[in-house]
Chain A
């Protein structure tokens, strides 16, 4: 079996726009904003980029299909640009493409850029599903929303572990309170206000039991990375290298939604991808070895069940860890130290790269007010779709030693 790409790819530059309701900026403006920071960070010239991967999800309200939007926005010199789309895991997929190109020797330097421009829709939340979901899905799927699909985790989790509505509601409220506290310290975050437990519990319901503060922001934004091999990075004069330790993915195959086995309390895909990622990165005990992580906290309940799916909290132990502050900024393993999807925001195609951006800054000691002490390994968990049918992408990055 292949031994993976651990330490075969270095990230030499990253950039990320301020996320939020960017009424001021179109997709190309956001791409340029992220790219300029990234290019400057990498210290290379634009023409040195040989291949690019463009992650963009909801193209009907963004740049349309295809990869030309990226090539045109950045005036890339007639190079290969591959557009990738894999629901909300799109950003990590873009990095995977670029990293594999470098690791395989297909090119020396590659760009991964994620972009989403959601606030041209005209209403809050993600665009509604319709016949665009496909000719069969649109006739058989409930008129489901993202919060409605994830909210169901709560009902199944409560039933399985015998937890009261109020106790779980309080635990997931803590998840959001923690992320808001972190977001305050992040100048690029969409939402930068602290919230109290009482505010979360008293907020209007969006999809029961999820209230307003259990849901992440819907944002515009872009994030990108430039990758190369550690050897080339050194030849470019780079020191303090950050390298990719693992990138793994797992997709639902219809078992969860069609075969009576999965119990609806978490993500079969996360568990599979996490196991493979830990193996690729050489991690034996994630609870002891990880310094921090960014998980796909589209909703507080998603983050909550992911604690267990990532094998950090024991089975049924998410509630205790949450309430103990294990994942708080001053806890054992801080989660969403940049505010997460919850507060940094969720421009879908950019989110996977935004997560990696924070891990990258933390490892290099460039995270400002929210800098953690000496982090070595950071994990990102990027998820798209619904609990019963989803795309999962996990990456682990760390110091190149």
Chain B
């Protein structure tokens, strides 16, 4: 049996209230009123599609033997790098072995499910055993544009394999069509969109049904037997019409999370799929369809193994872990849409030494420290001489992962002198109970809710962006745990 064996989802905590976006733009774009309800998820300034994918994937691979993961795909329309494999960054952050098949999927709204289909095909063909598919998007839109309200940020990850399958892959069907509802030319920062009514009538209503009907015919499943129909779509109840046309009951159409999250781009079909799996029962048949230069539809049937899934925060957990945000100016600034005077301190040169980065890739990207084989002391960062003053042995360090260890705050400050895109910059010394410590930036913190002794979770984030060369430095940060719901 081939299918999904594990899942993970990630929606960032911040939820921009659409009403504030509307209020700021109503003078020039009163038509936004129709989309001004609810809230959209917003990545923190130090999150992008890669960091969010890492967070979703960490949850997905929990309990898996990393040695058995032999392929990793990532899909996004907002990859931080045009030329540097983004899947490779995810793999490095997860400390997957280097004997790994990997690829980036992009260039179409459909690329998330394309990655999923490719992963399933690979497992089905026996080329790979356990394929990790990650998707993440943090799309940048122009101010006062409908999609600024419709979009959200988020990520998902699915493990595909043959053992302990929780949702069996039943088949896929794809229509490829150069239907251009929007496009983004080389080096263009923003999408260019065509008229919505044409996109809906000629695109969604004519192309999507061909893929879905094709899938139903191919699998021999009747539309009425579908338990959940997942299809992101910006046009209100258009998916109801598509479902009904294919014999699928309208109440089986999955909520597109517009009110609570927004459309997370290429991640969204998988985000919605994860959300569906979280409440699925054995025997459920799920269709995931994704529109974009054609349409791809996949079908899964949930197995008894779904009952064994537990302890995953998932999309539902992330949706509950939210913080309302009314600061539209900050949202724009963090997306580089405002020219601000940030002061001379931001003129510092953050050129990255690629040689040093590669040499220390375990430490920097994977949060790998050391463990002394002589005295057993854990140390972070790893150095070739043991840090234990009673030992100081040389050449006795073996790799030791720190990312999933809960840390504790030993000392901290909130710094208003140093530059931070989200001042005050909080950082401090984090200690790990069984050895190792380090000075780390904090992220996703709340002013006044930090104290010595507090538990932190380490998260993979953007450390700094070298503006001169447009290179993103990633590193690990400490996220203070505010609610007891986590770890």
Mark A residues whose CB is within 8 Å of B: 121-123, 125, 128-132, 135-136, 138-145, 147-149, 151-156, 158-159, 204-208, 210, 254-255, 257-260, 263-264, 387-388
C-alpha spacing A300/B66, complex, angstroms: 49
Q: Select the residue from A123, A148, A155, A388 with max chain B CB neighbours within 10 A.
A: A148
Contact indicator B388/A139 (Cβ below 8 Å):
no
Contact indicator B356/A259 (Cβ below 8 Å):
no
Given A258-B437, A259-B387, the answer on whether A143 and B419 have CB atoms closer than 8 Å is yes
- Jot down 17 A-B pairs with beta carbons below 8 A, ordered by A: A131-B352, A139-B353, A139-B356, A140-B381, A142-B439, A142-B441, A143-B418, A143-B464, A148-B415, A151-B413, A152-B413, A155-B411, A155-B413, A205-B414, A255-B389, A258-B436, A259-B437
Interface string of B166-196 (1 = CB under 8 A from A): 0000000000000000000000000000000
Interface string of B437-452 (1 = CB under 8 A from A): 1111100000000011
- Closest CB of chain A to B4's CB: distance in Å? 36
Extra A-B contacts (20), CB below 8 Å, given A131-B348, A132-B349, A151-B413: A128-B419, A130-B348, A131-B351, A139-B360, A139-B463, A140-B438, A142-B425, A142-B441, A143-B419, A148-B413, A206-B415, A207-B414, A208-B424, A210-B413, A254-B383, A254-B387, A257-B439, A259-B377, A259-B387, A259-B389
B452's partner among A132, A148, A158 (CB-CB below 8 A) is: A158
Chain A residues within an 8 Å CB radius of B451: 159
Chain B residues within an 8 Å CB radius of A123: 343-345
C-alpha spacing A151/B411, complex, angstroms: 9
Q: Is B239 an interface residue (CB 8 A)?
A: no
- Closest CB of chain B to A149's CB: distance in Å? 8
Chain A residues within an 8 Å CB radius of B436: 258, 260
Q: Is B162 an interface residue (CB 8 A)?
A: no
B411's partner among A145, A153, A205, A210 (CB-CB below 8 A) is: A153
Contact indicator A258/B410 (Cβ below 8 Å):
no
Q: Select the residue from B416, B418, B432 with max chain A CB neighbours within 10 A.
A: B418
Chain B residues within an 8 Å CB radius of A207: 413-418, 424
Residue of chain A at shortest CB distance from B353? A135
Contact indicator A206/B438 (Cβ below 8 Å):
no
Chain B residues within an 8 Å CB radius of A258: 379-381, 383, 387, 436-438
Chain A residues within an 8 Å CB radius of B432: 260
Contact indicator A259/B388 (Cβ below 8 Å):
yes
C-alpha spacing A172/B124, complex, angstroms: 68
Residue of chain A at shortest CB distance from B428? A152
- Closest CB of chain B to A269's CB: distance in Å? 14
- Closest CB of chain B to A205's CB: distance in Å? 6
| Size class of the B contact interface (CB-based, 8 Å) | 35 or more
Residue of chain A at shortest CB distance from B382? A258
Residue of chain A at shortest CB distance from B424? A208
C-alpha spacing A259/B432, complex, angstroms: 10
Q: Is B357 an interface residue (CB 8 A)?
A: yes
Chain B residues within an 8 Å CB radius of A152: 411-413, 428-429
In the complex, the number of residue pairs spanning A and B with C-beta atoms less than 8 Å apart equals: 152
Q: Is B431 an interface residue (CB 8 A)?
A: yes
Q: Is B328 an interface residue (CB 8 A)?
A: no
Contact indicator A257/B437 (Cβ below 8 Å):
yes
B348's partner among A128, A136, A148, A264 (CB-CB below 8 A) is: A128
Q: Is B420 an interface residue (CB 8 A)?
A: yes
Contact indicator B349/A139 (Cβ below 8 Å):
no
C-alpha spacing A27/B415, complex, angstroms: 31
When A and B form their complex, which 9 residue pairs have the shortest distance between CB atoms, in order from nearest?
A: A135-B353, A130-B348, A148-B415, A135-B356, A152-B411, A151-B413, A142-B427, A159-B452, A145-B418
- Closest CB of chain B to A305's CB: distance in Å? 12
Q: Select the residue from B344, B356, B417, B451 with max chain A CB neighbours within 10 A.
A: B417
Q: Is B453 an interface residue (CB 8 A)?
A: yes
C-alpha spacing A122/B377, complex, angstroms: 45
C-alpha spacing A272/B240, complex, angstroms: 75
Given A258-B379, A258-B380, A264-B410, the answer on whether A144 and B439 have CB atoms closer than 8 Å is yes
B417's partner among A148, A154, A387 (CB-CB below 8 A) is: A148
Chain B residues within an 8 Å CB radius of A260: 431-432, 435-437
Residue of chain B at shortest CB distance from A263? B410
Contact indicator A139/B439 (Cβ below 8 Å):
no
Q: Select the residue from A121, A131, A255 with max chain B CB neighbours within 10 A.
A: A131
Contact indicator B418/A148 (Cβ below 8 Å):
yes
C-alpha spacing A55/B425, complex, angstroms: 32
B363's partner among A140, A153, A387 (CB-CB below 8 A) is: A140
Chain A residues within an 8 Å CB radius of B344: 121-123, 128
Chain A residues within an 8 Å CB radius of B431: 260
Chain B residues within an 8 Å CB radius of A159: 451-453
Chain B residues within an 8 Å CB radius of A130: 348-350
C-alpha spacing A74/B107, complex, angstroms: 66
Chain A residues within an 8 Å CB radius of B387: 254-255, 258-259
C-alpha spacing A168/B357, complex, angstroms: 41
B420's partner among A143, A156, A254 (CB-CB below 8 A) is: A143
Contact indicator B345/A128 (Cβ below 8 Å):
yes
Contact indicator A205/B438 (Cβ below 8 Å):
no
Residue of chain A at shortest CB distance from B476? A140
Q: Is B475 an interface residue (CB 8 A)?
A: yes
Residue of chain B at shortest CB distance from A265? B411
Contact indicator A147/B419 (Cβ below 8 Å):
no
A208's partner among B355, B414, B418, B440 (CB-CB below 8 A) is: B414
Residue of chain B at shortest CB distance from A261? B389
Chain A residues within an 8 Å CB radius of B424: 205, 207-208
C-alpha spacing A139/B362, complex, angstroms: 12
Q: Is B396 an interface residue (CB 8 A)?
A: no
Q: Is B364 an interface residue (CB 8 A)?
A: yes
Q: Is B473 an interface residue (CB 8 A)?
A: yes
Contact indicator B411/A264 (Cβ below 8 Å):
yes
B427's partner among A128, A132, A148, A259 (CB-CB below 8 A) is: A148
Chain A residues within an 8 Å CB radius of B463: 139
- Closest CB of chain A to B364's CB: distance in Å? 5
- Closest CB of chain A to B424's CB: distance in Å? 7
C-alpha spacing A277/B437, complex, angstroms: 31
Given A148-B418, A206-B417, the answer on whether A388 and B356 have CB atoms closer than 8 Å is no
- Closest CB of chain A to B471's CB: distance in Å? 11
C-alpha spacing A243/B428, complex, angstroms: 42
- Closest CB of chain B to A33's CB: distance in Å? 28
C-alpha spacing A130/B427, complex, angstroms: 17
- Closest CB of chain A to B381's CB: distance in Å? 7
C-alpha spacing A61/B410, complex, angstroms: 34
Residue of chain B at shortest CB distance from A208? B414
Residue of chain B at shortest CB distance from A123? B344
A155's partner among B353, B425, B452 (CB-CB below 8 A) is: B452
B410's partner among A131, A139, A145, A156 (CB-CB below 8 A) is: A156
Contact indicator A138/B414 (Cβ below 8 Å):
no
Chain A residues within an 8 Å CB radius of B348: 128-131
Chain A residues within an 8 Å CB radius of B380: 258
Residue of chain A at shortest CB distance from B391? A259
C-alpha spacing A366/B419, complex, angstroms: 44
Chain A residues within an 8 Å CB radius of B356: 135-136, 139
C-alpha spacing A204/B415, complex, angstroms: 12
Contact indicator B439/A208 (Cβ below 8 Å):
no
Contact indicator A128/B418 (Cβ below 8 Å):
yes
Interface string of B286-298 (1 = CB under 8 A from A): 0000000000000
Chain B residues within an 8 Å CB radius of A151: 413, 415
C-alpha spacing A263/B437, complex, angstroms: 11
C-alpha spacing A257/B380, complex, angstroms: 9
- Closest CB of chain B to A220's CB: distance in Å? 18
Contact indicator B415/A147 (Cβ below 8 Å):
yes
Chain B residues within an 8 Å CB radius of A158: 452
Chain A residues within an 8 Å CB radius of B351: 131
Contact indicator A139/B352 (Cβ below 8 Å):
yes
Chain A residues within an 8 Å CB radius of B418: 128, 143-145, 148, 207
